[in-house]
Structure 1
């Protein structure tokens, strides 16, 4: 029994010495005692590979490269002790989730967190940490007793008591039935001495800076059992400098502790092997040798001259940083002939970089292996299991059903899933409807479930409707069949075993194993070896998970909801650990895990402040202060912050000394959101050590103008093509670019394979996002030979011709969704007020005689009648929406009350409601001749037509109900953006004889907001002021004639300001100038202009104008709420895409443009 240390700084050849000694033993005695090389888990493959490459070996039977965990398995296979089922991380999470649910009400501190998603995983990590440090439930109990009873320790005491309770339950669940892998090393330490193989073995330990208490226990057992244990540690055996002592504090502590274990057990402590002198790794590179020796030493010894093979880079972003590294790796490979495996890329925080590295390296054609455990939460198989269970437990709601169908593991094509999804969304299908043996019925209806005409104008289903109905029903039966079978099995299951069997039957019925294997083969064929292994490993992991569920919880009775939560916790813990699928790859990893002793080039990225070295506060379940208190109570749980500072310093040293030939150190200047990032303290230290080091700045894209400035960006053809397009676009804009890009262009043009790929990309440089006019012969086919249009259609064209084309020619629309949206509320209010009017007439009542009680009674009846019709009873589908029904009722009641008040103060009374005008409707609509021949007919629906009679004439006004605030800007009328009120007024006046029994003069056109306003004020509103303030809140908005007599017909109480219309009278009885108050001549000129705009717009529609030309007026523009932005791809950055700028007009400017004399600007006189 002996212990020997192999000591040396980075690069002195410790690993090489270990390998050479093993090789020597193998050559001298191929069948001698075992030779064990103990290394970190992530280094086993590389170390074994290095040993296997040794020339001249007749065999490797004696040598074994093992991690601590694999050593445990070897010993257990010899001496026993691991026959019981093993509970992995997933099984532990599920077991702890059950314990937490059972103990939740007894926990002092964790009770609230016990039910939170992921807490069982957090708890599993804490228990793993406790076992790593050999802390038992009894030790926790002892620590609680040792804690001083102070306010500071109350929280810690509660934490320890909760942990002791949960830890005890967990151990009780394991006792005699299962083995926790976190106990492997504890068991190994106890049984290792029984192994006959290890009694004569020689052991080498390399790649560790320190060990956990569990690992120290194993090493102690090895010291007592093995012939000799050799431990390689990175430290300077001869330096007594304070800086070196601090740098190697972690490894010095490790050496001291191992030496103490040797002395304690009577193990001979051999003279150490001291690898002193200049490290061999840096023999050919003075700059890197200087960096290794002097980085942590003071005073600073500066390096003379520019350092070769050392690059310091500041990148604009992490993306620019990774792309720069990729280009440099390609350069090193091309110019120096280095293999991919000669290069390593390391970062402190892999989570910030792994996706970027995978994407960028693929773009540059660099094979790489990213050393990380892959989470599988979003893999289709995991999603299938989760969504299938949620479908059953959540009564077939939309989200889980279609997550299940979109996994591509269900025998329904994506096209069919899309069709089914559109139908389900449009009709609000959920729950028992999926199991309905009767066909679903496809029909067209509006938000109030009223049939709407099909393409032939009839409400009956068309042939297309019938075809879609039959197809949807075939798809839904195929989609739901396996889930319905699964639901029946789940409902019949009584135990976890039966629930798991039901789930496995679902996977078998869907042939998930076959589909996964098919995906794996496809990935292999395409060269995506990692993806192929991920698919296969995940299937194995899921099967193992289900086995563990049955093993640990098999005969327990759980509801499907409880089972789903436990299974979800288990799947959240599933991670894939892959080995490199190829030998020649760039290895990418985090500093803590990377073990690459034999590389030529190291790329150290992300050297930002607080990252490398890392900034540590308390992490995990215990704060640093709590760890100090526990240590004083005799309980060690993980390193404190002071030790972590030493560890971080050591990691910086390791990062900078990995490679012997080339070192790249870089940091990003900004994160993904554009937030500034500061460089780490490593960066100024490098500048201080190497005054001749030129710090480079990397932009994401090339920006050079001088010849050759952009040459570093010319690397992989695929990525270079993207840069070429960028630079040619700059050149097209008048920017001077590096001439190298013309050579690049010629290269692409000369290579046939790339020429085809290059052509469409470069064509985009000259692409103009314009739409030419339609063929004149095509417009009648698209719009019909007879042009009948609504006002909203004309307004949409005036906003953007392409939006009109998309909606009315291409028939594009957002998919229907059965939900309560603002347009549905508006439709409901229109229907409610129409029904209210009908009920009034049926009862022989007039608006001016309506009392408050009548409003309440009728509003209640109307809403009760209409609520079930809205969006397939959506208002009855939840307590929240039933509450909304009450609010809608109060809005209708309040609105009716105000309309009654209007009637009492006005001579204007409704003569018609919901007046449909246009061809084949209640009354004809306005028709205007077109410049090129033919005419345009307008169609629409006027919410209300009011008429007032005098001795000499009758006056007509139109009112349009709005569910939200709306006003009328006259310049919007001028530009054709708001034509509704003027067109409706004209339609009413043209058909006045039919509507009012006589010809009428125009009085005005208004918006009436349907609402239940909240009266604002700092103090309660006096009762006497409520009614007047309500009237003002409901004041009509729009156009009114400046005739005092007419205004008094609208409001018999009008004074300086009307509570009913947007007008007022001066003291002399004349009308105040206000926005919306117009003279008869002005109104007539506006109507003439509207007729002209309607005709011009219709003529442009007929002429096939489909230009992508959205308007912008102030802050408003046509694109803000447009549903067709993905179709038109309007981009203001393109020269061909510009907004039509519309200038806001004053009233004076407007009347001048319409040929009338300017007047004083309206105001509140």
Structure 2
């Protein structure tokens, strides 16, 4: 029994050879380890396409294998969920001496960072006694909490599984094991792989070529696997014939000092996109996506690869959604990032955490409240005009304005027997209110609501399990757990949708078309984000001393160099490299060194012809390139000053005469700015941001209201104007009442005491006319 290593560059056929050997071993019930859960279904489909039926074997992730091995062992414990683990970490923090970390521990991010570090240490098979300082104490306290509850966490289960295979002969029955997509093995993964190699035939695929800078971050993994596999190492040669010449040349030459080969013509297989501002750049990408899809490319054969998906999520949703591009952003999002989650949390914060009007009406305005939006806006307007802010007064006044009718969601929360039951009841109420019971929910928003609902129900079950273990829960802890609950966003490979993935997930996929985003300095390579508890020097010292921990990370630039190389080699037909040449304010942005590296591999004329730019001033497309009907109409209107006859001819040919006439009449309305102060103010401003220009282009009325009127100022506040009104009213009452009250026409020193008393009465009457909810302090100040 031994390990076989399949090594070679991208596209050398390593994974195909590994899958072929997996099929050959089906009679021995092999186990195939893939990188992610989403890869399981994809690989199964690929294998079924090649052999027709799978009559044996198993495909899963490393965690599936760890779970199976730990479950079959004698000493098996229940595993704490992520929500339970977060509560355990917080309990450990209250009991462990924090010393120099006491001030930092007050912040929510401290526990999250500690939880991540503890997971790293457990995955590295590090014991608390092998650490020094406060971290050792926190680690010991955390493990003591787990032992007291009779639980493992995921990392302890991985460790138990690896130790079982290493120490029990019957733990593995000799089934062959195949693995690919693992360049950075944790200590537990390495221990399991090493133990399995002593019990069965293990075959591992690794993308690696000695001496190439693109693979520098994999040198340690390659050396360890080679030592374990020797002499069963198979080095596969490159296969440039499986890619177009330009993409094959890119794979061989990227980050290499010299290849000795003449660069081929790009011939449309490599393109460079430059845009101004993130939205403008992504709109250019969205336009190209529509062109590709309309030309016959299946959306699922296209991928957008981002350095970090979270930083691109919002602008991608805007750019792709506005042009109608079908897409699926793979990965998990937090519950509080979903519309359903924000509504739930708004109401819980109002009911349980002393929230005010903003929290209650944040929920009532949502489609999940069961109330008509117009009615909610009318009531809220009355409350804002009277400066009603506090929770108690907000609820009281809302019920009064609703003719005494209570708010059903609040009644539901208060009638529930337990806080967790209240959350579950609220979630069901909200789903019914938004989607009804007559027909099943359809559409992307409905799917997202159902995923968020499922995530919340799963969290309620986990927290019920925590109470069953003897733990306690406060409403604040329930809200905090709900904020962080993971919600599945989408699954890659969905039919009819463009995949949006990060660099790490992209490395094991294949697509016809790939867009690599974020090729600006500061975006890629990414900045290193180390642990505040476990710095790189300490991680390297532990690796050197323990030999098994594998905690030290590769150099971040070398790691991103490898991930960029793999992203560029995922395309089988065409590769797009995309960067922002200017920021949203028009300032230039330097390109990523990776951008310059690729452009330097080809002839200058070829690169120039393959480069497409969208300048900051391009608020519309050319008519023939506009991707949607709305953009075509905007382009047509912008054509009139240049060629009015052609614009009218196009409008007549397409039935757009009425829309074009309406757009042109907008310039005839009396909207020209003429006031000298306004004109002077505009002359002072030489630059306008991209967002401001885009908002104006979308709807000038919205721009005017948002930027100049500022609708947030409708809230009543104690300002100089209100103070002046109160003072004017009080003085008017005072002087009008002096002759009758004091019996004099002109005040003198002898009437001072009576005049002061009269002034206090007048001021009280003036204050009674103020229709605002004021605290005692605000009233005294006024």
- Verify same fold: TM over 0.5: yes
Query: Structure 1 residues 557 and 864, CA, compared in 2 at 3 Å: closer, same or farther?
Result: farther
The structure-2 alpha-carbon separation of the partners of 1:366 and 1:864, relative to structure 1 and needing over 3 Å to count, comes to closer
CA distance in 2, matches of 1:572, 1:387: 15
Counting only pairs closer than 5 Å after superposition, residues 469-480 of structure 1 correspond to structure 2 as: 472-474=401-403, 477-479=405-407
Contact kept, 8 Å, 2:179 with 2:204, in 1: the verdict is yes
Deviation of 1:727 (Å) = 3.2
Deviation at 1:542, TM superposition (A): 1.2
Q: Which among 97, 100, 107 is matched to residue 109 of structure 1? A: 100
1:287-302 counterparts in 2 under 5 A? Answer: 287-299=246-258, 301=260
Which residue of structure 1 aligns with residue 88 of structure 2?
Answer: 95
For residues 566 and 494 of structure 2, what CA distance do their matches in structure 1 show?
Answer: 26
Structure 1 CA distance for aligned equivalents of residues 537 and 543 of structure 2: 10
Show the 5 A alignment for 1:471-490: 472-474=401-403, 477-479=405-407, 481-484=408-411, 486-487=413-414
Render the CA deviation track for 1:36-62: whole Å, top value 9, x for unaligned: 24334443332222112224x3x3132
Say if 1:300 and 1:689, in contact at 8 Å, map to a contact too. no
Asked which structure has the greater RCO (Cα within 8 Å, sep 6+), the reply is 2
| Inter-partner Cα distance in structure 2 for 1:325 and 1:855 | 78
Please say if residues 263 and 601 of structure 2, whose CA atoms lie closer than 8 Å, have aligned partners that are also in contact.
no
C-alpha displacement of 1:533: 3.8
Counterpart in 2 of 1:827?
A: 725
- Say whether residues 1:661 and 2:573 are aligned partners: yes
The 1:677–1:438 alpha-carbon spacing in structure 2 relative to 1, beyond 3 Å, is: closer
- Asked if 1 retains the 8 angstrom alpha-carbon contact of 2:637 and 2:663, the reply is no
Counterpart position of 1:699 = 614
Other structure's SS at 2:574 match: strand
Equivalent residue, structure 2, for 1:946: none
- Residue 748 of structure 1 pairs with residue 657 of structure 2: no
SS in 1 for 2:50: coil
Q: Which residue in the other structure is 1:307 paired with?
A: 266
Distance 1:701 1:340, change over 3 A: farther
1:83 Cα deviation after fit: 5.2
Residue 174 (str. 1) matches residue 146 (str. 2)? yes
Whether 2:218 is the aligned partner of 1:251: answer yes
Q: Describe the shift of the 1:178–1:520 C-alpha distance in structure 2 as closer, same or farther (beyond 3 A).
A: farther
Residue 199 of structure 1 aligns to a residue whose secondary structure is coil
Partner of 1:501: 421
| 1:825-847 deviations in Å (ceiling 9; x for gaps) | 12110122124325644234565
Which whole-Å CA distance do the structure 2 matches of 1:290 and 1:763 have between them? 53
**Contact 2:525 2:560 survives alignment (8 Å):** yes
Query: Shift of residue 287 of structure 1?
Result: 1.8
CA displacement at 1:257 relative to structure 2: 1.8
CA contact (8 A) 1:316 1:699 kept: yes
How has the CA–CA distance of structure 1 residues 762 and 252 changed in structure 2, closer, same or farther, with 3 Å as cutoff? Answer: farther
TM-score by length of 1: 0.57
Shift of residue 273 of structure 1? Answer: 2.0
Q: 1:360 to 1:401 in 2, by over 3 A?
A: closer
Give yes or no for contact 2:286–2:319 (8 Å, CA) kept in 1.
yes
What is the distance in 1 between the residues matched to 2:601 and 2:415? 73
Question: What displacement does 1:9 show?
Answer: 0.5
| 1:619 CA drift (Å) | 5.4
Contact 1:606 1:666 in 2 (8 A): yes
- Correspondence 1:609 to 2:517: no
Distance in structure 1 (CA, Å) of the matches to 2:195 and 2:436: 48
Equivalents in 1 of 2:733, 2:508: separation in Å?
A: 80
Partners of 1:94 and 1:566 within 8 A in 2: no
Q: CA deviation at 1:873?
A: 6.6
Distance 1:378 1:660 in 2: 35
Structure 1 vs Structure 2 CA RMSD = 4.0
DSSP-derived class of the 1:693 partner: helix
Instruction: Report 1:652-1051 matches (<5 A).
Output: 652-691=564-603, 692-695=605-608, 696-699=611-614, 710=622, 713-714=625-626, 716=627, 718=628, 721-733=629-641, 735=642, 745=651, 748-749=654-655, 759-760=658-659, 763-768=662-667, 770=669, 819-838=717-736, 840-841=738-739, 842-844=741-743, 849-850=748-749, 857-858=756-757, 861-862=760-761, 865-866=764-765, 869=768, 871-872=770-771, 874-875=773-774, 877-879=775-777, 881-882=778-779, 884-885=781-782
Give the secondary structure class of the aligned counterpart of 1:410. Answer: coil
CA distance in 1, matches of 2:101, 2:435: 43
**Does residue 536 in structure 1 map to residue 454 in structure 2?**
no
Q: 1:625 to 1:843 in 2, by over 3 A?
A: farther
> Counterpart in 2 of 1:1140?
none
Q: For residue 16 of structure 2, what is the aligned residue in structure 1?
A: 16
Residue 211 of structure 1: aligned partner: 185
Cα separation, partners in 2 of 1:320 and 1:196, compared to 1, 3 Å: farther
| CA positional deviation for 1:664 | 1.4
How many residues are matched?
A: 736
Q: Which deviates more, 631-640 or 402-411?
A: 631-640
Contact 1:613–1:680 (Cα < 8 Å) also in 2: yes
Distance 1:565 1:860, change over 3 A: farther
Decide whether the 8 Å contact of 2:246 with 2:264 is kept in 1: no
SS of 2:504's equivalent in the other structure is: coil
Secondary structure class of the residue paired with 1:677: coil
Q: Residue 127 of structure 1: which of 101, 118, 123 is its match? A: 118
Larger Rg: 1
2:161 to 178, 183, 188: 188
Give me the whole-angstrom Cα distance separating, in 2, the residues matched to 1:311 and 1:38: 32
- Contact kept? 1:380, 1:408, Cα under 8 Å: no
Aligned to 1:1161: none
Compared CA separation, residues 97 and 845, structure 1 to 2 (3 A):
farther
Q: Deviations over 1:14-67 (max 9, x none)?
A: 1111122223344xx4xx433424334443332222112224x3x313232211
For residues 1138-1157 of structure 1, the aligned pairs below 5 Å read none
Q: Which string of whole-angstrom CA distances, capped at 9 and with x for unpartnered residues, describes residues 394-429 of structure 1?
A: 557322222232333333222222233234334555
Asked whether the 8 Å contact 2:123–2:155 carries over to 1, the reply is yes
2:40 is the alignment partner of 1:66: no
Matched, 1:367 2:326: yes
Q: Decide whether aligned partners of structure 1 residues 593 and 202 sit closer, same or farther in structure 2, where only a CA change above 3 A counts.
A: same
Residue 317 of structure 2: aligned partner: 358
2 CA distance for matches of 1:864 and 1:565? Answer: 47
Contact 1:316–1:668 (CA<8 Å) still a contact in 2?
A: yes
Q: C-alpha displacement at 1:80, in angstroms?
A: 6.3
Say which is worse superposed, 571-580 or 629-638, in terms of deviation. 629-638
Distance 1:208 1:187 in 2: 21
Distance (whole Å) between structure 2 residues aligned to residue 110 and residue 738 of structure 1: 73
Match of 1:200 among 167, 174, 195: 174
Check 1:487–1:340 CA distance in 2 against 1; reply closer, same or farther (3 A cut).
closer
Q: Is the 8 A contact 2:451 2:487 kept in 1?
A: no
Deviation per residue, 1:797-842 (Å, 9 max, x gap): xxxxxxxxxxxxxxxx999755434432121101221243256442
Determine the structure 2 residue equivalent to 1:417.
376
Structure 2 portions without partners, runs of 5+: 672-710
Go from structure 1 to structure 2 and tell me whether the alpha carbon gap of 1:407 and 1:304 turns closer, same or farther (over 3 Å shift). Answer: closer
Shift of 1:861: 2.6
1:426-449 alpha-carbon deviations (Å, 9 max, x no partner):
455555567879984xxxxxxxxx
After TM superposition, give the deviation of residue 850 of structure 1 in Å: 4.5
Task: Give the superposition deviation at 1:545.
Answer: 1.5
- Structure 1 570/183 Cα, relative in aligned 2: closer, same or farther at 3 Å? farther
Residues 1:650 and 2:562 aligned together: yes
Distance 1:357 1:612 in 2: 18
- Contact kept, 8 Å, 2:300 with 2:497, in 1: the verdict is yes
1:484 to partner: Cα distance: 4.2
Q: Cα distance, 1:636 vs. partner?
A: 9.3
TM-score by length of 2: 0.82
Q: Corresponding residue for 1:1048?
A: none
Structure 1 CA distance for aligned equivalents of residues 345 and 728 of structure 2: 44
Distance 1:710 1:872 in 2: 55
Matching residue within 350, 364, 368 for 1:405: 364
Q: Residue by residue, what CA displacement relative to the aligned partner does 1:46-102 show, whole Å, maximum 9, x if unpaired?
A: 2222112224x3x31323221111222333454466552x332223223334444x3
Give 1:320's match in structure 2, choosing from 280, 297, 310.
280
Q: Are the equivalent residues in 1 in contact too, given 2:521–2:591 (CA < 8 A)?
A: yes
Structure 1 residues 830 and 210, CA gap change in structure 2 (3 angstroms): same
1:213/1:42 CA distance change after superposition, 3 Å? farther
